[in-house]
Protein backbone atom coordinates (compact mmCIF):
# COMPACT_ATOMS: atom_id res chain seq x y z
CA UNK A 1 0.00 0.00 0.00
CA UNK A 2 2.89 2.36 0.73
CA UNK A 3 3.99 2.40 -2.90
CA UNK A 4 0.43 2.96 -4.14
CA UNK A 5 0.01 5.90 -1.77
CA UNK A 6 3.38 7.46 -2.55
CA UNK A 7 2.71 7.33 -6.31
CA UNK A 8 -0.91 8.51 -6.11
CA UNK A 9 -1.92 11.41 -8.30
CA UNK A 10 -5.54 12.22 -9.22
CA UNK A 11 -6.60 12.16 -12.86
CA UNK A 12 -6.50 15.64 -14.41
CA UNK A 13 -4.82 17.00 -11.28
CA UNK A 14 -5.22 20.80 -11.01
CA UNK A 15 -2.25 23.05 -10.15
CA UNK A 16 -3.38 23.13 -6.50
CA UNK A 17 -2.59 19.40 -6.24
CA UNK A 18 1.10 20.15 -5.84
CA UNK A 19 0.34 22.25 -2.75
CA UNK A 20 -1.62 19.50 -1.00
CA UNK A 21 -0.11 16.29 -2.41
CA UNK A 22 2.44 15.56 0.33
CA UNK A 23 -0.05 16.11 3.14
CA UNK A 24 -2.70 13.96 1.43
CA UNK A 25 -0.30 11.07 0.97
CA UNK A 26 1.16 11.39 4.47
CA UNK A 27 -2.27 11.44 6.11
CA UNK A 28 -3.63 8.41 4.27
CA UNK A 29 -0.42 6.50 4.96
CA UNK A 30 -0.83 7.31 8.67
CA UNK A 31 -4.29 5.69 8.58
CA UNK A 32 -2.61 2.43 7.41
CA UNK A 33 -5.40 1.17 5.12
CA UNK A 34 -5.23 -2.58 4.58
CA UNK A 35 -6.83 -3.02 1.16
CA UNK A 36 -6.37 -1.44 -2.24
CA UNK A 37 -10.06 -0.54 -2.34
CA UNK A 38 -9.90 1.23 1.03
CA UNK A 39 -6.72 3.06 0.07
CA UNK A 40 -8.30 4.36 -3.12
CA UNK A 41 -11.43 5.52 -1.28
CA UNK A 42 -9.47 7.43 1.34
CA UNK A 43 -7.13 9.02 -1.20
CA UNK A 44 -10.04 10.12 -3.40
CA UNK A 45 -12.06 11.58 -0.52
CA UNK A 46 -9.15 13.40 1.11
CA UNK A 47 -7.94 14.77 -2.23
CA UNK A 48 -11.33 16.34 -2.94
CA UNK A 49 -11.47 17.79 0.56
CA UNK A 50 -7.90 19.09 0.33
CA UNK A 51 -8.51 20.81 -3.02
CA UNK A 52 -11.72 22.35 -1.67
CA UNK A 53 -9.87 23.59 1.43
CA UNK A 54 -7.04 24.99 -0.71
CA UNK A 55 -9.56 26.89 -2.83
CA UNK A 56 -10.97 28.35 0.40
CA UNK A 57 -7.50 29.52 1.45
CA UNK A 58 -6.75 26.92 4.14
CA UNK A 59 -3.13 25.77 4.61
CA UNK A 60 -2.08 22.22 3.71
CA UNK A 61 -2.75 20.83 7.18
CA UNK A 62 -4.75 17.62 7.61
CA UNK A 63 -5.78 18.56 11.14
CA UNK A 64 -7.44 21.66 9.69
CA UNK A 65 -8.92 19.74 6.72
CA UNK A 66 -10.43 17.06 8.96
CA UNK A 67 -11.97 19.48 11.41
CA UNK A 68 -15.65 18.44 11.69
CA UNK A 69 -16.88 21.89 10.68
CA UNK A 70 -14.82 21.86 7.48
CA UNK A 71 -15.93 18.32 6.62
CA UNK A 72 -19.56 19.44 6.99
CA UNK A 73 -18.90 22.49 4.82
CA UNK A 74 -17.19 20.37 2.18
CA UNK A 75 -19.95 17.78 1.98
CA UNK A 76 -22.58 20.52 1.80
CA UNK A 77 -20.86 22.84 -0.68
CA UNK A 78 -17.83 21.15 -2.19
CA UNK A 79 -19.53 18.31 -4.07
CA UNK A 80 -22.14 19.98 -6.30
CA UNK A 81 -21.77 17.17 -8.87
CA UNK A 82 -22.72 14.44 -6.39
CA UNK A 83 -26.03 13.29 -4.95
CA UNK A 84 -26.84 13.07 -1.26
CA UNK A 85 -25.85 9.42 -0.90
CA UNK A 86 -22.42 9.98 -2.50
CA UNK A 87 -21.76 13.04 -0.36
CA UNK A 88 -22.72 11.05 2.72
CA UNK A 89 -20.20 8.38 1.72
CA UNK A 90 -17.47 11.01 1.39
CA UNK A 91 -18.31 12.35 4.83
CA UNK A 92 -18.19 8.87 6.34
CA UNK A 93 -14.77 8.17 4.80
CA UNK A 94 -13.38 11.48 6.04
CA UNK A 95 -14.72 10.97 9.55
CA UNK A 96 -13.18 7.50 9.59
CA UNK A 97 -9.87 8.93 8.38
CA UNK A 98 -9.98 11.64 11.06
CA UNK A 99 -10.49 9.07 13.81
CA UNK A 100 -7.79 6.74 12.44
CA UNK A 101 -5.16 9.49 12.22
CA UNK A 102 -6.01 11.84 15.08
CA UNK A 103 -8.20 9.69 17.33
CA UNK A 104 -11.59 10.67 18.76
CA UNK A 105 -10.12 13.79 20.42
CA UNK A 106 -10.98 16.03 17.45
CA UNK A 107 -14.49 16.92 18.61
CA UNK A 108 -17.54 17.74 16.58
CA UNK A 109 -21.29 17.80 16.83
CA UNK A 110 -23.83 15.46 15.29
CA UNK A 111 -23.67 15.67 11.45
CA UNK A 112 -26.66 17.29 9.84
CA UNK A 113 -28.68 15.24 7.34
CA UNK A 114 -27.62 15.76 3.75
CA UNK A 115 -30.24 16.79 1.26
CA UNK A 116 -30.31 17.33 -2.45
CA UNK A 117 -30.51 21.12 -2.05
CA UNK A 118 -27.58 23.23 -3.20
CA UNK A 119 -25.87 24.82 -0.21
CA UNK A 120 -24.01 27.12 -2.61
CA UNK A 121 -27.26 28.79 -3.60
CA UNK A 122 -27.10 32.46 -2.59
CA UNK A 123 -29.67 33.84 -0.22
CA UNK A 124 -32.43 35.85 -1.85
CA UNK A 125 -33.13 39.43 -0.66
CA UNK A 126 -36.20 38.10 1.15
CA UNK A 127 -34.19 35.38 2.89
CA UNK A 128 -31.58 37.93 3.99
CA UNK A 129 -34.30 40.14 5.43
CA UNK A 130 -35.85 37.14 7.19
CA UNK A 131 -32.49 36.19 8.70
CA UNK A 132 -31.94 39.72 10.00
CA UNK A 133 -35.43 39.80 11.51
CA UNK A 134 -34.82 36.38 13.07
CA UNK A 135 -31.52 37.54 14.58
CA UNK A 136 -33.12 40.73 15.91
CA UNK A 137 -35.93 38.76 17.53
CA UNK A 138 -33.79 36.46 19.66
CA UNK A 139 -34.64 36.27 23.38
CA UNK A 140 -31.35 37.65 24.77
CA UNK A 141 -29.19 40.65 23.95
CA UNK A 142 -26.13 38.41 23.60
CA UNK A 143 -27.82 36.32 20.91
CA UNK A 144 -29.24 39.35 19.09
CA UNK A 145 -25.91 41.17 19.02
CA UNK A 146 -23.83 38.09 18.14
CA UNK A 147 -26.05 36.99 15.27
CA UNK A 148 -26.21 40.52 13.84
CA UNK A 149 -22.41 40.68 13.93
CA UNK A 150 -22.18 37.32 12.15
CA UNK A 151 -24.58 38.48 9.42
CA UNK A 152 -22.58 41.68 8.99
CA UNK A 153 -19.33 39.74 8.64
CA UNK A 154 -20.83 37.03 6.41
CA UNK A 155 -23.17 38.99 4.14
CA UNK A 156 -21.35 42.29 4.45
CA UNK A 157 -17.73 41.13 4.25
CA UNK A 158 -17.85 37.59 2.84
CA UNK A 159 -16.01 35.95 5.73
CA UNK A 160 -15.87 32.27 6.65
CA UNK A 161 -16.48 31.26 10.24
CA UNK A 162 -12.79 30.59 10.93
CA UNK A 163 -11.96 34.13 9.79
CA UNK A 164 -14.53 35.60 12.19
CA UNK A 165 -13.13 33.98 15.34
CA UNK A 166 -9.83 35.94 15.79
CA UNK A 167 -11.15 39.39 14.78
CA UNK A 168 -10.81 42.23 17.29
CA UNK A 169 -12.29 45.70 17.55
CA UNK A 170 -9.22 47.54 16.17
CA UNK A 171 -9.47 45.43 13.00
CA UNK A 172 -12.41 47.66 11.99
CA UNK A 173 -11.51 51.12 10.71
CA UNK A 174 -14.31 53.66 10.15
CA UNK A 175 -13.59 56.26 7.47
CA UNK A 176 -14.85 59.84 7.45
CA UNK A 177 -17.71 58.97 5.09
CA UNK A 178 -18.92 56.14 7.36
CA UNK A 179 -17.41 53.31 5.34
CA UNK A 180 -15.97 50.40 7.32
CA UNK A 181 -12.72 48.74 6.29
CA UNK A 182 -12.09 45.39 7.95
CA UNK A 183 -8.57 43.96 8.23
CA UNK A 184 -8.89 40.18 8.10
CA UNK A 185 -6.30 38.18 10.03
CA UNK A 186 -4.64 34.86 9.31
CA UNK A 187 -3.61 33.04 6.14
CA UNK A 188 -6.01 35.11 3.99
CA UNK A 189 -5.09 38.46 5.55
CA UNK A 190 -6.54 41.31 3.51
CA UNK A 191 -8.62 44.49 3.79
CA UNK A 192 -12.34 44.32 2.96
CA UNK A 193 -14.77 47.19 2.56
CA UNK A 194 -17.99 46.20 4.31
CA UNK A 195 -21.12 46.60 2.18
CA UNK A 196 -23.31 49.58 3.06
CA UNK A 197 -26.29 47.77 4.68
CA UNK A 198 -24.02 46.31 7.36
CA UNK A 199 -21.36 48.97 7.96
CA UNK A 200 -23.20 50.68 10.85
CA UNK A 201 -23.64 47.38 12.69
CA UNK A 202 -19.98 46.56 12.22
CA UNK A 203 -18.86 50.01 13.36
CA UNK A 204 -21.07 49.81 16.45
CA UNK A 205 -19.73 46.35 17.30
CA UNK A 206 -16.13 47.58 17.05
CA UNK A 207 -16.87 50.59 19.27
CA UNK A 208 -18.64 48.38 21.77
CA UNK A 209 -15.84 45.86 22.20
CA UNK A 210 -12.87 48.23 22.21
CA UNK A 211 -9.73 46.10 21.89
CA UNK A 212 -11.59 42.85 22.62
CA UNK A 213 -12.91 40.22 20.26
CA UNK A 214 -15.38 41.48 17.68
CA UNK A 215 -17.56 38.37 17.90
CA UNK A 216 -18.50 37.15 21.37
CA UNK A 217 -16.26 39.67 23.19
CA UNK A 218 -17.04 38.17 26.61
CA UNK A 219 -15.84 34.70 25.60
CA UNK A 220 -12.10 34.10 25.89
CA UNK A 221 -12.36 30.49 24.70
CA UNK A 222 -11.79 30.44 20.93
CA UNK A 223 -12.02 27.23 18.96
CA UNK A 224 -12.99 25.96 15.53
CA UNK A 225 -16.60 25.54 16.69
CA UNK A 226 -16.98 28.97 18.30
CA UNK A 227 -19.33 30.21 15.58
CA UNK A 228 -21.36 27.04 15.02
CA UNK A 229 -21.82 26.45 18.75
CA UNK A 230 -23.13 29.98 19.20
CA UNK A 231 -25.58 29.66 16.31
CA UNK A 232 -26.86 26.37 17.72
CA UNK A 233 -28.00 28.22 20.87
CA UNK A 234 -30.34 30.51 18.92
CA UNK A 235 -34.09 29.92 18.84
CA UNK A 236 -34.98 28.29 15.54
CA UNK A 237 -37.67 29.40 13.09
CA UNK A 238 -38.54 26.81 10.45
CA UNK A 239 -39.64 29.57 8.06
CA UNK A 240 -36.18 31.14 8.06
CA UNK A 241 -33.12 29.53 6.39
CA UNK A 242 -30.40 28.33 8.74
CA UNK A 243 -27.58 30.77 9.33
CA UNK A 244 -24.50 29.23 7.69
CA UNK A 245 -21.49 31.50 7.17
CA UNK A 246 -20.47 29.52 4.08
CA UNK A 247 -23.77 30.32 2.41
CA UNK A 248 -23.47 33.97 3.43
CA UNK A 249 -20.02 34.05 1.82
CA UNK A 250 -21.44 32.47 -1.34
CA UNK A 251 -24.12 35.18 -1.40
CA UNK A 252 -21.48 37.89 -1.02
CA UNK A 253 -19.40 36.41 -3.85
CA UNK A 254 -22.33 36.02 -6.27
CA UNK A 255 -23.47 39.59 -5.61
CA UNK A 256 -20.05 40.86 -6.66
CA UNK A 257 -19.71 38.50 -9.61
CA UNK A 258 -23.03 39.85 -10.90
CA UNK A 259 -21.98 43.52 -10.74
CA UNK A 260 -19.47 42.58 -12.24
CA UNK A 261 -16.13 43.70 -10.81
CA UNK A 262 -12.70 42.81 -12.26
CA UNK A 263 -11.68 39.28 -11.29
CA UNK A 264 -8.34 40.35 -9.72
CA UNK A 265 -10.23 42.69 -7.41
CA UNK A 266 -12.74 39.99 -6.46
CA UNK A 267 -10.06 37.37 -5.82
CA UNK A 268 -8.08 39.78 -3.63
CA UNK A 269 -11.18 40.79 -1.63
CA UNK A 270 -12.19 37.15 -1.15
CA UNK A 271 -8.69 36.04 -0.20
CA UNK A 272 -8.41 33.60 -3.10
CA UNK A 273 -5.50 32.89 -5.42
CA UNK A 274 -7.40 30.93 -8.09
CA UNK A 275 -10.80 30.71 -9.74
CA UNK A 276 -11.37 27.14 -8.53
CA UNK A 277 -13.52 28.14 -5.55
CA UNK A 278 -15.76 30.29 -7.76
CA UNK A 279 -16.71 27.53 -10.22
CA UNK A 280 -19.48 26.15 -7.99
CA UNK A 281 -21.17 29.58 -8.00
CA UNK A 282 -21.44 29.97 -11.77
CA UNK A 283 -24.90 28.32 -12.00
CA UNK A 284 -26.23 31.02 -9.67
CA UNK A 285 -25.10 34.05 -11.68
CA UNK A 286 -27.71 36.28 -13.26
CA UNK A 287 -28.12 35.58 -16.97
CA UNK A 288 -27.99 38.16 -19.73
CA UNK A 289 -29.73 38.69 -23.06
CA UNK A 290 -28.03 38.06 -26.37
CA UNK A 291 -28.37 41.76 -27.27
CA UNK A 292 -26.74 42.89 -24.05
CA UNK A 293 -23.94 40.35 -24.45
CA UNK A 294 -23.33 41.57 -28.02
CA UNK A 295 -23.23 45.21 -26.90
CA UNK A 296 -20.83 44.47 -24.03
CA UNK A 297 -18.45 42.46 -26.23
CA UNK A 298 -18.61 45.10 -28.92
CA UNK A 299 -17.66 47.84 -26.44
CA UNK A 300 -14.64 45.83 -25.39
CA UNK A 301 -13.39 45.16 -28.92
73-121 confidence digits (pLDDT tens): 888 888 777 777 788 888 888 988 888 888 755 444 444 444 434 556 8
- Return the closest-CA partner of residue 227 out of 106, 109, 51, 63: 109
Percent of the chain whose pLDDT exceeds 90: 47
Based on the fold, state whether residues 136 and 273 are members of the same structural domain. Answer: yes
132, 101: one domain: no
Query: Which is more confidently placed, 268 or 187?
Result: 268
Q: What residue numbers bound the domain in which 80 lies?
A: 2-105
* Domain annotation covers residue 289: no
Residue 270 to residues 80, 91, 249, 267: CA-CA distances in angstroms?
21, 26, 9, 5
Q: Return all residues near 41 (Cβ < 8 A) that are at least 6 apart.
A: 93
Q: Do 76 and 172 sit in the same domain of this protein? A: no
pLDDT at 115: 42
Number of structural domains, the chain? 2
- pLDDT of residue 16 exceeding 70, the answer is yes
Average pLDDT of the chain is 86
pTM strictly above 0.95: no
Does residue 297 lie within any of the structural domains?
no
Least confident of 25-29, 71-75, 141-145, 194-198: 71-75
Mean pLDDT of 186-211: 94
What is the rounded average pLDDT of the residues 257-282?
85
Query: According to the model, what pLDDT value does residue 113 have?
Result: 45
Report the SS3 class of residue 183.
strand
Dihedrals phi, psi of 11, to nearest 5 degrees: -65, 135
Which has more confidence, 109 or 196? 196
Same domain, yes or no, for 141 and 199? yes
- Spatial neighbors of 130 by CB under 8 A, at least 6 apart, are 239, 240, 241
Average confidence (pLDDT) over 21-29: 94
Residue 37 forms part of a structural domain:
yes
Task: For residue 199, give the CATH number of its domain.
Answer: 1.10.443.10
The mean pLDDT of 3-26, rounded to a whole number, is 91
Domain shared by 85 and 224, yes or no = no
Of the listed ranges 114-118, 125-129, 156-160, 265-269, the least confidently predicted one is 114-118
Q: 90 and 157 share a domain?
A: no
My answer on whether 139 and 277 are in the same domain is: yes
Cβ neighbors of 222 (< 8 A, separation 6 or more) are 165, 166, 213
Residue 136 shares a structural domain with residue 266: yes
* Assigned domain for 146 exists: yes
Instruction: Based on the fold, state whether residues 88 and 148 are members of the same structural domain.
Output: no
Amino acid sequence: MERRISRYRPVHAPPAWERVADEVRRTVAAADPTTTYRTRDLLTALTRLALFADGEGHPADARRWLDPALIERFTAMGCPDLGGASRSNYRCRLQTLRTAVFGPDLPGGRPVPLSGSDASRPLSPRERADLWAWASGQPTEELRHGLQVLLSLGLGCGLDSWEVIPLRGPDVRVLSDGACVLSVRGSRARPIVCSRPYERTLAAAAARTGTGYLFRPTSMSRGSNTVTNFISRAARDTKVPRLVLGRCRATWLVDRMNIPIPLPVLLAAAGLDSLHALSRLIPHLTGTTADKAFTTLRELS
